[in-house]
Every structure is written in C-alpha cells, then in structure tokens.
Amino acid sequence: MARITVNGRLHDVDVDPDTPLLWVLRDTLGMGGTKYGCGIAQCGACTVHVDSIAVRSCALTVGAAEGKAITTIEGLAPNGVLHRVQQAWVDLDVPQCGYCQSGMIMAVAALLKQTPNPTDAEIDAAITNICRCGTYQRVRAAIHAAATG
Amino acid sequence: MSAAGGINRRTFLVSVAAAGGLALGFDVPLASTAQAADRAPEINAWILIQSDDTVTIRVARSEMGQGALTALPMLVAEELECDWSKVKAEFPRPDENLRRNRIWGDFSTGGSRSIRNSQEPLRQAGATAREMLIAAAAAQWNVAASECRAANSIITHQPSGRTVSYGQVAEAAAKLPPPKDVTLKDAKDWHLIGKPTKRLDVTDKVQGKPIYGIDVRVPGMLHAALAQCPVFKGTLKSVDDTKAVGMKGVHKVVTLKDAVAVVADNWWQAKQALDALTIEWDGGEGAAVSSAGIREFLLGGLTADNAGVGRAQGNIRDGFGSAVKRIEADYEVPFLAHATLEPQNCTAHVTGDRAEIWAPTQNGEAALASAAHTLGIPTQNVIVHKTMLGGGFGRRGVTQDFVPPAVLIAREVGRPVKVVWSREEDIGHDYYRPVAMARMAAGLGDDGMPRAWHVRMTGNSIWSTLMPMTVRGGVDRQFQEGFLADMPYDIPNYLADYAIRNTHVPVGFWRCVNHTQNCFFKESFVDEMAHAAGSDPLEYRRRLIGTHRNAAKFLGVLNAAAERAGWSTPLPPNTFRGIALNEAYNTFVAAVAEVTVADGAVRMHRIVIALDPGTVVNPLTAEMQTESAVVFGLTAALYGEITIKDGRVEQSNFNDYKMLRLADMPKVETVLMPSGGFWGGCGEPPVAVVAPALCNAIFAATGRRIRSLPLKNHGLTKA
C-alpha cells in the first residue's frame, strides 16, 4: 500500500511500495499522459514534478513519493487554461508524434520555475529528454518564448 | 461510392510479415457496401458534416508524427471549400474498410507516401461532396446548381444572394447520388494547400491527451510483459516459473514458440515476475553468429562473381582503360534499430473465433491480417482500432510482429491483455536497417571527370527476406536505390551491382531505407572523386549533372542549398562545409553541413536542407519533418550501431544505443522549393543526405575520409 498526492488529490494505491511511480500513475491510477520510454531514467518521457522538481518517475518508487506533491501533465493546466510552456509549444508547433512531449513539457516547466530566463547553456544542461522525432530546435525556441512570454 | 474513394471493388491482398519475417498473402472475401450509420450525415466515406457545420474528415493513413492527420484533411478541404476552423479528423477502422469494399483504399503508411498516394482520391472526395452539397442547396431553392457557389462552408445562390450553410443541407446532400465527374482545381487556385497550417493534434499533444497504443485501457484488461528468444529465429526450450506464479498480481505465465509472457494486474508486476523466471532458449544456428562473422560474410560479397545488376551502361572495362587515375574505396554501415520512443505494444481481446485489437500500427490492414492469420480465424472476425503512434519510422508498417504475441497471449488468458515490450525487448527485437558495404572504383580522365564507375554493393536485403516475390533473378533494386536511374551524375561507363548476403538478423524499412547507407556511399565517394580531381565538391557535382532527365531539379536543390549556406563565403574559424545530393521518394534533396572538429569531437552547428518535393501541402509539417529527418540522420551518423554477439543484439537501451539530445542539435534551415507538377514525399528524403554532408565536412576539416559509420568508432564523438 502507498498513499500519494497526485495533482492535489490523495490516492491510496494497493501496490508494492517498490513499484516505480510511473507504473502506479499509468496502470493503477489510469493517467496515461506520463509515458514509458526506457525504464532507466535515460529518456525523460516519464518526467513529473515531485514537490516542484522534475523527476523521472520510472526511477522513483511510489514509496519514496509518499507525502510529496506530485504533478503530472494532466495537472499542469488545472483550470483548462494551458500552462505558458504548453501555450508556447502550441504557438511554435513543437510536437510531432508527441510521445515524449509530456515529459519534455514537465521538464521545461520545472526548469522555468527555477530559472525563469535560462541561457542556451542552461537549457542544454537541464533538458536532456530524448525526442526521437527530433523536435529539439522548436523545443529550444519555445523555451525562450515561454520564458519571456 | 467508388467515385469518392477512387477505388473499385477488387481483391484485397495484403502482405504481412508475421513473426519470423515470413511474408504471407491473404485473400479476403468482400462484403457488400455497408450502410453509413454514423452520428452525422456521411456525404461520402471521407466526409461527415454535422448540423453545426463541424466537418469530420477521415484519414486512412496513420499519424506517427509526420502530420498526415492534418495534411490529408487539407487536401479534402481544399476542394470541399469548407471552413477549416471547423474541421476534425478521425481514423476509420481497418475492419470497416474491408466491410466497405476498401472504400478508403490502402491504410499502409510508409515510403513517404501518405500524401502522394492519397492526394487524388482525397481531392476528388472533397470536390464530389462539394458538388453534392451545392446540388442539395439548389434543389432546396429550386434553382440551377450552376448558379450557386460554395466557400467557407457557405453556399450562395449568386443571383439572389441567398445563403445556406453546409450543416443545413448535409442530410439532404448525403442522400444524393455522387456526380460522375468532378473537375479538380488548378494548383494556382489553391488557397489551403501550400499554406502553413497548424496541426490538428497539437493542443491535445501538449496536454498528454492522445491515446497511443500503450495508453489503451479496456474494461477487465490485464497487462503482460514479454521475453522473446534473444537469438533471432531461436525457440523456447523450457521455463521454470516456480518463483513467478505466486508473486503479487500475477495471473498467468504464457509460453509461446519463441517467447514467454507474464500476465498480471499491472505491467510492473508482470515485468518483475518475468525477470523471476528461469528461461532456457534454443538459439539454433543463429547462436553462433557475431558481427565479426557477418563482416567476413559481407566482405565475400564485395568480390563475389554473382551479383545482380541494377544499372549498367557503356563498358566499365573500356572506361577504366581510358582513365588516367583510378580511385578505390570500401564503405560500410552497421545494423540500426528504429527505437520508436513508444515501445512496441498491442492490446488484444480474443473470444472464440473473434478478436479485437488495438495497435499503434502503420498499416491497420496488415495488423488485421496478422491477427486473423495468427489465430486461424476469418478476417471478417477481427476488429482493429488504430491508435496514435509514438513514432513509426518504418518499424510498424510491413512488419506487424507486435500483433501475433498479443493475440496468442490474449487467447490464453480469455480477457483483454495489453502486451508492452520493455525497451530492452524493443531494441533487441527489431527489423533493423540492414548492414551494408560498398566497394567503389572510379577511373578519372585527364580532366578529372569520371570515365568509369563501378559500385559493388553487398549486404542484407530487405526485399528478399520480407517480400521475396519482389526479387527476381537475384536483383534487389531497392537495395541499390540511389545508384539506379535516380543516380544524378553523368558517368559514361557505369555498373551498379549487388551481391545479396542475408544474415539471420531480421531487416526492415528504417526511415529512408536503403538511401540511408547508399547516399552516404555515393556522396562520400563523389566527394573523393572531386578531391582527386582537385575540384571544389559543389563545382564538381554541377559539372557531373548533365543529361539526367531530372538534371534541372537536382541542380535546383544543389544550388539553393549552396546559396543559402553561402558556399563560397568565409566561415567562422575552424568551421568547414560538406555537401550532399540525393533523390528519394520522388523528392530532390541537397544539404550543406557546417561542422567543427575540436578536441576529437565533431559538432554539426548548422545544416541547410533544400527540398523539391514538387508539391508541398503543409509547409509547416514539411519543415518539421525536415528538422526531424536531420536528427534521425545525425543520430545514426554519430552513434547508431547495432552489433551482434552469440546471435543476439548487444545493445539494450538508450544507455548503449544513444540518441541525439537537445544540446547537440544543429541549427536546421529548410529551403522548401516545390517546382510543381509532381508529388514527392517529405518524411524520409532528408535523412539520407545528413551523414554524407557531415562526413564530407569532416574531410574538409581534417583530411580524414570517413568510410564507415558511426563516428563514435572513429573517436569523433565525446563519450
């Protein structure tokens, strides 16, 4: 059993506490926006916020996430108004297949919270998510747009 | 309804590569056309219009990032004259297609064909529906249809100024017979085609809303993790499930001929239990194969007496005889995995002789045929739901190997089961870009221009393994693409031949397919000729393009790329340029890369890609695809390598099968220059020019000629 708070809602989940948060979100809570890509914290498709920090949820156990505020892509625009990162993504036409974009957007939203106007070098260091479609050029432009927008 | 679909009743034959690479044909008996029974009036099979003027346009091709979900409706809407802001898109089901005499035509999504092969029937569907809507309005007003015009979903009776919206006449229009002939607009009158248009799926995609195959949830569904025999073509010998069966959440261990699956309440439980199994595999003959052995095998192909001739002209012996300089070089590339970010998966529910599947597939009909064949049930008994694809790149098209294990496991379990491959399974069980080699020999005359060129290729043929019926007399033309009639240069004495060397490693269609190695071979070696002749590589290519029937198009993109890149202008310190040219999928592409080599690491800062696909439907997605293709090509050039040891793939995940990341992204400048009059593909062609442009720039920078990929093996990438 574990008790976690996801997007402001408390959930009691009947799983082994060693279960990665990713699979609890996807299979137990039915929140599919957070994606599985590698399972070894390489690709970042599973990125969520844990107490406002970007975390790769495939490598965080649900037990370790207890008592913390977890935000997923489903909770990024709670009132239906797109987060400024999401809006920049729409404005600059970032997604292609879209599979990595939940994680990418969550990573960027966390970066901008910590570093409101990041340099290219800071973006390079912080945003290491894999996009197999190669949307990186637009990702960078959209980060700058969201930062100044 | 054939006027709208452009496809008449005919035998449906679909080739599907079942697990193990076996190619099969299926004859499917066709039912009579089903009555449309949807929520909104169906004007024709492609177009539904609701009373509030919402237009739903059906898209038969899959959406895997390339933008078909937007570009294909644009083709319909151009002729339909509907309000684009009220357009939605949806995927028709493959089983509905069969029931309706394949009214939506071919579902296969590959070969950069989504637009090329759909544009005519889709534009016809739009024009046909427009005429029906106008006819319905004219009948309502009791006026001649010729007095009415349609624009932006409004029909206007011109003499009286009366108007009616599409939604108000949709129901009446749907009951009218379709016109026999419709005239399509002239390209100069297009107002939507050619206009950068936002993707219809972008807002959902930034909110994590689209349902990919891996996100499918069906009531009562269980989850399965899969272990396939790590040695290709091997089988399962035995499995000890003592430790797994009692584990929390575990329902069942299912054994297949060449795989084991654990079915559980969630995927993580299934995977943990799978890892607790003790499995013995019988690798069979493949277990002795290694990359070194494969390389030796291919080297034999370089000198083999038997080789299928793809193109021959003049007499290369005479050509070499008249040359004053001979240059030779061997090139090689490894296997590559697709590594779609969404791993392979399929959800299935099998009850008796019926099956329902959900799959991220590039070919819904092949998925259907694969399920029916695997289960031995009639194709009419299979329902297929296509989902969004988390990348395709050719992995999910001809090869539907994610379907058979899913339906077999689901049959065993009797409940819906979602089978998700781990990343390790995905990397280890692909249909890889073939391993290939080329032996080049050219004889240059006293003017430095080639008198003779012999291109001997060898490597693992895709066609002869997946579609053997296409390879006749030992000639696999697809393996030689780029060196055949599509080779742009004037070579008086030329021979391109190919000695097929098939391994036990499954090969398949990897974005831009054989162009990905052949363009590297061709454009690198042409660069070698230019340097041997003491010529500027751009100037040399210009001189070599002479009488080719597409010379103007080749020169067009070559010059455009060079001009945008400022080929003859000074570069920043230590920065060098490389150039490459190709035709693929009816599209002409040239690239100029700007590269630095410092501290033993190469970096591409900028790449200009000039592209002539004849016609561009959505310049926005065409540009996005070009950026994407650069990343795909650059990732492979820098890092891409699948190696074989003891018959199995050595790489397992993104830690050892590396992907390009944001920090290494070059600036991509796309020059779209559609010259009109033809339709080329956009998803794949730019992939091929990236590696040669990059390696030609490395030569300019260092004097080192790169003749094998990836660059990590040359000490040119940082660890």
Residues of A in contact with B639 (CB under 8 A): none
- Measured at the alpha carbon of residue B663, what is the angle toward residues B661 and B666, in degrees to the nearest 5? 90
Given a contact cutoff of 8 angstroms between Cβ atoms, the answer to whether B390 and A103 are in contact is no
Nearest to A137 among B203, B655, B665 (CB): B665
DSSP string over B274-340: HHT-EEEEE-GGGGG--HHHHHHHHHHHHH-S--EEEEEES-HHHHHHT-SEEEEEEEEE-BB----
Q: What is the C-alpha separation between B224 and B222, in angstroms, rounded?
A: 7
pLDDT, mean of residues B185-211? 97
Given a contact cutoff of 8 angstroms between Cβ atoms, the answer to whether B579 and B537 are in contact is yes
Task: Please give the pLDDT value at position B12.
Answer: 32
Confidence check: pLDDT of B2 > 80: no
Residues 49-68, chain A: which have Cβ within 8 Å of B?
none
Which residue is listed with tokens 């076996």?
B22
Which tokens hold the place of B345?
């998966």
Q: Are B342 and A35 inside 8 Å of each other by CB?
A: yes
Q: In Å, how far is A67's CA from the nearest CA of chain B?
A: 22
pLDDT, mean of residues B387-391? 98
User: Which of the 8 DSSP states describes residue B642?
Assistant: B
Q: Are A90 and B392 inside 8 Å of each other by CB?
A: no
Would you say the C-alpha torsion B431, B655, B634, B298 has a positive or negative sign?
negative
Q: Which residues contact A22 (CB under 8 A, 6 or more apart)?
A: A34, A36, A46, A57, A58
Q: Are residues A7 and A63 in the same domain?
A: yes
B300-339 core/surface letters (b: 16 or more CB in 10 A; e: else): ebbeeeebbebbeeeebeebbeebeeebeeebbbbbbbbb
Q: Are A101 and B223 inside 8 Å of each other by CB?
A: no
Q: What is the C-alpha separation between B307 and B496, in angstroms, rounded?
A: 9
Which tokens hold the place of B389?
């694809």
Residues of B in contact with A77 (CB under 8 A): 207
Q: Are residues A64 and A108 in the same domain?
A: no
Task: Please give the pLDDT value at position B22.
Answer: 29
Confidence check: pLDDT of B26 > 80: no
Find the distance separating the first CA and the last CA of chain B, reported in whole Å. Answer: 59
pLDDT digits (tens, 9 = 90+) for B502-546: 999 999 999 999 999 999 999 999 999 999 999 999 999 999 999
Give the H/E segment covering residue A69: strand A69-71
Task: Please give the pLDDT value at position B719.
Answer: 52
Q: Are B208 and A16 inside 8 Å of each other by CB?
A: no
What residue of A is the nearest CA neighbor of B224?
Answer: A27
Q: Are residues A96 and A143 in the same domain?
A: yes
Q: Are residues A60 and A11 in the same domain?
A: yes
Q: What is the C-alpha separation between B643 and B653, in angstroms, rounded?
A: 13
Task: Please give the pLDDT value at position B474.
Answer: 87
Q: Are residues A71 and A88 in the same domain?
A: no
pLDDT digits (tens, 9 = 90+) for B29-76: 333 333 333 468 999 999 999 999 999 999 999 999 999 999 999 999
Candidates B507, B520, B500, B508; CA nearest to B297 is B500
Q: In Å, how far is B62's CA from the nearest CA of chain A?
A: 11
For the domain covering B213-283+344-420, report its CATH number. 3.30.365.10
Provide the pLDDT confidence category of residue B7 given band limits of 50, 70 and 90.
Answer: very low
Candidates B618, B619, B680, B684; CA nearest to B70 is B618
Q: What is the C-alpha separation between B610 and B564, in angstroms, rounded?
A: 9
Q: At what angle do helices B68-80 and B119-141 cross, to 10 degrees?
A: 40
Candidates B509, B515, B505; CA nearest to B394 is B509
Nearest to B199 among A16, A93, A102 (CB): A93
Task: Please give the pLDDT value at position A106.
Answer: 98
What residue of A is the nearest CA neighbor of B204?
Answer: A98
DSSP strand pairing (B601-612 vs B667-672): parallel
Given a contact cutoff of 8 angstroms between Cβ atoms, the answer to whether B138 and B147 are in contact is yes
Given a contact cutoff of 8 angstroms between Cβ atoms, the answer to whether B137 and B155 are in contact is yes
Q: Which residues contact B413 (CB under 8 A, 6 or more apart)?
A: B222, B251, B252, B254, B263
What residue of A is the nearest CA neighbor of B208?
Answer: A33
- The whole domain housing A18 covers 2-75
Q: Which residues contact B604 (CB under 8 A, 6 or more apart)?
A: B593, B594, B595, B634, B666, B694, B697
CATH of the domain at A70: 3.10.20.30
B459-488 core/surface letters (b: 16 or more CB in 10 A; e: else): bbbbbbbbbeebbeeebbbbbbbbbeebbb
Q: In Å, how far is B159's CA from the nearest CA of chain A?
A: 42
Q: Are residues A64 and A103 in the same domain?
A: no
Confidence check: pLDDT of B391 > 50: yes
Q: Are A40 and B655 inside 8 Å of each other by CB?
A: yes
Which tokens hold the place of B491?
């070579």
Residue B332 CA, distance from chain mean position:
23
Which residue is listed with tokens 């432009």?
A141
Given a contact cutoff of 8 angstroms between Cβ atoms, the answer to whether B604 and B593 are in contact is yes
Please state, rounded to an integer, the average pLDDT across all residues of chain B. 93
Q: Are residues A25 and A88 in the same domain?
A: no
Taking the Cβ of residue A139 and every Cβ of chain B, the question of whether any pair is shorter than 8 Å is answered with yes
Residues of B in contact with A127 (CB under 8 A): 662
Residues of B in contact with A146 (CB under 8 A): none
Taking the Cβ of residue A38 and every Cβ of chain B, the question of whether any pair is shorter than 8 Å is answered with yes
pLDDT, mean of residues A116-130? 98
Q: Domains in chain A: how many in total?
A: 2
Q: Are B208 and A39 inside 8 Å of each other by CB?
A: no
Nearest 5°: phi and psi at A15? Answer: -135, 160
Give the length of chain A: 149
Q: Are residues A43 and A107 in the same domain?
A: no
Residue A145 CA, distance from chain mean position:
19
Cis peptide before B710 (omega within 30 of 0): yes
Candidates B709, B708, B704, B702; CA nearest to B598 is B702
- Measured at the alpha carbon of residue B272, what is the angle toward residues B266 and B274, in degrees to the nearest 5? 100
pLDDT digits (tens, 9 = 90+) for B130-141: 999 999 999 999
Task: Please give the pLDDT value at position A78.
Answer: 87
Nearest to A137 among B211, B248, B668 (CB): B668
Nearest to B208 among A102, A124, A132 (CB): A102
Q: Are B217 and A97 inside 8 Å of each other by CB?
A: no
- Secondary-structure class of domain B291-336+432-714 per CATH: alpha beta
Which residue is listed with tokens 């009909």?
B365
Residues 86-105, chain A: which have Cβ within 8 Å of B?
86, 89-90, 93-102, 105
pLDDT digits (tens, 9 = 90+) for B70-120: 999 999 999 999 999 999 999 999 999 999 999 999 999 998 888 998 999
Which tokens hold the place of A11?
């959930």
pLDDT, mean of residues A91-95? 98
Residues of chain B with CATH 3.30.365.10: 31-205, 213-283+344-420, 291-336+432-714
pLDDT digits (tens, 9 = 90+) for B669-717: 999 999 999 999 999 999 999 999 999 999 999 999 999 999 999 999 8
Nearest to A124 among B202, B343, B662 (CB): B662
Residues of B in contact with A15 (CB under 8 A): 266, 268
Q: Are A26 and B267 inside 8 Å of each other by CB?
A: yes
CA atoms within 13 A on the CB side of B369: 27
B24-63 core/surface letters (b: 16 or more CB in 10 A; e: else): eebebebeeeeeeeeebbbbbbbbbbbeebbbbbbbbbbb
Q: Are A134 and B343 inside 8 Å of each other by CB?
A: no
Provide the pLDDT confidence category of residue B470 given band limits of 50, 70 and 90.
Answer: confident
Residues of A in contact with B205 (CB under 8 A): 95, 98, 101
Q: Are residues A51 and A11 in the same domain?
A: yes
Find the distance separating the first CA and the last CA of chain A, reported in whole Å. Answer: 43
Task: Please give the pLDDT value at position B599.
Answer: 86
- Secondary-structure class of domain B31-205 per CATH: alpha beta
**Chain B interface, best mutation among A38, A74, A129, by max B CB count within 10 A:** A38
Given a contact cutoff of 8 angstroms between Cβ atoms, the answer to whether B183 and B126 are in contact is no
Task: Please give the pLDDT value at position B144.
Answer: 98
Provide the pLDDT confidence category of residue A79 given band limits of 50, 70 and 90.
Answer: confident
Q: Are B624 and A96 inside 8 Å of each other by CB?
A: yes
pLDDT, mean of residues A71-87? 95
Confidence check: pLDDT of B202 > 80: yes
What residue of A is the nearest CA neighbor of B391?
Answer: A97
pLDDT digits (tens, 9 = 90+) for B612-653: 999 999 999 999 999 999 999 999 999 999 999 999 999 999
Residues of A in contact with B604 (CB under 8 A): none
Beta strands in B148-270 (DSSP E): 148-151, 154-157, 162-165, 222-228, 235-240, 250-255, 259-264
Candidates B354, B545, B587; CA nearest to B449 is B545
Candidates B392, B395, B356, B396; CA nearest to B375 is B356
Confidence check: pLDDT of B28 > 60: no
Q: Are residues A9 and A59 in the same domain?
A: yes
Q: Are A40 and B208 inside 8 Å of each other by CB?
A: no
Last residue of a domain, one of A75, A108, A126: A75
Q: Which residues contact B567 (CB under 8 A, 6 or more apart)?
A: B538, B577, B579, B592
DSSP string over B461-504: -HHHHH-GGG-BTTB-TGGGTTSSTT--S--SEEEEEEEE---S
Last residue of a domain, one of A52, A75, A98: A75
Residues of B in contact with A23 (CB under 8 A): 266-268
Given a contact cutoff of 8 angstroms between Cβ atoms, the answer to whether B487 and B447 are in contact is no
What residue of B is the nearest CA neighbor of A100?
Answer: B341
Last residue of a domain, one of A75, A95, A127: A75
Taking the Cβ of residue A13 and every Cβ of chain B, the question of whether any pair is shorter than 8 Å is answered with no
Q: Are residues A51 and A71 in the same domain?
A: yes
pLDDT, mean of residues A55-81? 96
Q: What is the C-alpha separation between B610 and B617, in angstroms, rounded?
A: 16
DSSP strand pairing (B575-584 vs B148-151): unpaired
Least-confidence region, from A26-30, B151-155, B239-243, B600-604: B600-604
Task: Give me the percent of chain B exceeding a pLDDT of 90.
Answer: 91
